[in-house]
Amino acid sequence: MHIFTDPALLFFVFGVFAGLLKSNLEIPPAISRFLSLYLLMALGLKGGFALAQTGLTTQVLTGLGLAVLLAVVVPLLGYGLLRRVVGPFDAAAVAATYGSVSAVTFITANAHLDGQGIAHGGHMAAAMALMESPAIILAVLLANVLRRQASAAHTVSGGTLALGGPPAEGVGWPKVLHESFTDGAQLLLLGAMAVGWLSGESGREAMQPFSGDLFKGMLAFFLLDMGLNTARQLPGLRGQSPWLLAYALIAPLVHGLLALGLAALAGLPAGDAALLMVLAASASYIAVPAVVRHAIPEANPSLYVGLSLGVTFPLNILLGIPLYTRLAQAALG
């Protein structure tokens, strides 16, 4: 199995093991931040170099369109289901988490496809960036509607929350939209992609030591840190509803199969389909929680962070990525 031969994934397993042992092994936050920015920059450059070769073809635009469609459909389906298990605000927050994407999962999937020699389009990095924000905006809209409904039901002396009011006290719409669309990680990814696109083959050769040779080692170091963080989230899952844990385990596969069906209908190649499945199956544990924590303070952060980072992230890293790849190859060749 790939998990026993891929050094990056083995470092993730080691990180989880060290965290469960309560070791004092720790990656300083500044270094962890640098590693994440490096990986996004390297991925953006690779995507830009690939786009410089292919251009904006119909296939590229189709892949981007399917990504946006999934970014809207997945959180809406999740919210409708989760409302039966938890309160509406928690349902909106968890649905946003699973409707958005995990950059680390996507980067790991890219490395896996490269290792398997499976061709894939660099434009899928842009698809990842496009899928980040819709789920956040939908969750904030849902929370705003819920607050209006609660205000109407418990109005005293005629006071109600006006349509289009702020999502939470002290957090206005401009702040939420700004954080959703101008997140630094997204801008770095898209900026690096633009640099790769403009510089083309000469840029690829110049940046090869940075974006190529160093990539696997940096990914292994970062996955070690992610393993440690995953172990820290596991205690927070104690006492949670088994239905929530089932959702965290089953929803990624369902979302991935939905992406595979759309990719098959659109005629995407297997590599692009596999990455679209990974994006649909992943859950955000950085960008969405950072916004939702302020925009939907009624939701429990340990719930949506614990499920995404403690359950879905390791599931996708260890089992999901190879499974989605095989399913895409079996269906699309």
- Per-range mean pLDDT, top range of 50-59, 114-123, 311-320: 311-320
Which tops the pLDDT comparison, 163 or 176? 176
Reply yes or no on whether the pLDDT at 182 is more than 70.
no
What pLDDT, on a 0 to 100 scale, did the predictor assign at position 153?
A: 65
95-127 pLDDT, tens digit each: 999 998 888 899 899 889 988 899 888 788 888
Reply yes or no on whether the pLDDT at 291 is more than 80.
no
Q: Which two tokens stand for residue 203?
A: 């840029």
What pLDDT, on a 0 to 100 scale, did the predictor assign at position 155?
A: 55
Reply yes or no on whether the pLDDT at 280 is more than 90.
yes
What pLDDT, on a 0 to 100 scale, did the predictor assign at position 167?
A: 46
135, HSE (Cβ side, Cα atoms, 13 Å): 36
What pLDDT, on a 0 to 100 scale, did the predictor assign at position 278?
A: 96
What is the pLDDT confidence band of residue 179, given thresholds at 50, 70 and 90? low
Reply yes or no on whether the pLDDT at 45 is more than 60.
yes
Contact 303, 94 (CB under 8 A): yes
- Which of 101, 150, 151 lies closest to 125, judged by CA? 101
Reply yes or no on whether the pLDDT at 231 is more than 80.
yes
How much of the chain exceeds pLDDT 90, in percent? Answer: 36
202-223 pLDDT, tens digit each: 998 999 998 888 888 998 998 8
Reply yes or no on whether the pLDDT at 84 is more than 60.
yes
Which long-range contacts link 23-31 to residues 24+ away (Cβ below 8 Å)? 25/228, 26/228, 27/221, 27/224, 27/225, 27/228
Residue-wise DSSP of 129-195 = HHTTSHHHHHHHHHHHHHHHHHHHHT-STT--PPTT--SBTTB-HHHHHHHHH--HHHHHHHHHHHH
User: What's the whole-number average pLDDT of the chain?
Assistant: 84
Which tops the pLDDT comparison, 327 or 121? 327
Domains defined along the chain, listed by start = 2-18+27-150+165-332 (1.20.1530.20)
Task: Please compute the mean of the pLDDT values over residues 300-304 and round it to a whole number.
Answer: 82
What pLDDT, on a 0 to 100 scale, did the predictor assign at position 240?
A: 77
233-278 pLDDT, tens digit each: 888 777 778 899 999 999 999 999 999 999 999 999 999 999 999 9
What is the reported pTM?
0.80
Q: How far apart are CA 284 and CA 307, in angstroms?
A: 10
What pLDDT, on a 0 to 100 scale, did the predictor assign at position 252?
A: 96
Task: Please compute the mean of the pLDDT values over residues 302-318 and round it to a whole number.
Answer: 89
Contact 308, 98 (CB under 8 A): yes
Contact 208, 90 (CB under 8 A): no
For 74, counting Cβ atoms within 10 Å of its Cβ (0-12 exposed, 13-18 middle, 19+ buried), the class is buried
Contacts of 301 (CB under 8 A, 6+ apart): 289, 292, 293
Reply yes or no on whether the pLDDT at 62 is more than 50.
yes
What pLDDT, on a 0 to 100 scale, did the predictor assign at position 173?
A: 55
Contact 193, 48 (CB under 8 A): yes
- Which of 289, 332, 331, 323 lies closest to 308, judged by CA? 289
154-175 pLDDT, tens digit each: 554 444 444 344 444 444 556 6
Distances (CA, A) of 225 to 103, 124, 139, 185, 228: 15, 25, 29, 18, 5
Which tops the pLDDT comparison, 1 or 38? 38
What pLDDT, on a 0 to 100 scale, did the predictor assign at position 124?
A: 86
95, HSE (Cβ side, Cα atoms, 13 Å): 32
What stretch of H or E contains 323? helix 321-332
What pLDDT, on a 0 to 100 scale, did the predictor assign at position 60?
A: 84
What pLDDT, on a 0 to 100 scale, did the predictor assign at position 300?
A: 83
Strand partners, 232: none
Residue located via tokens 């989760």: 82
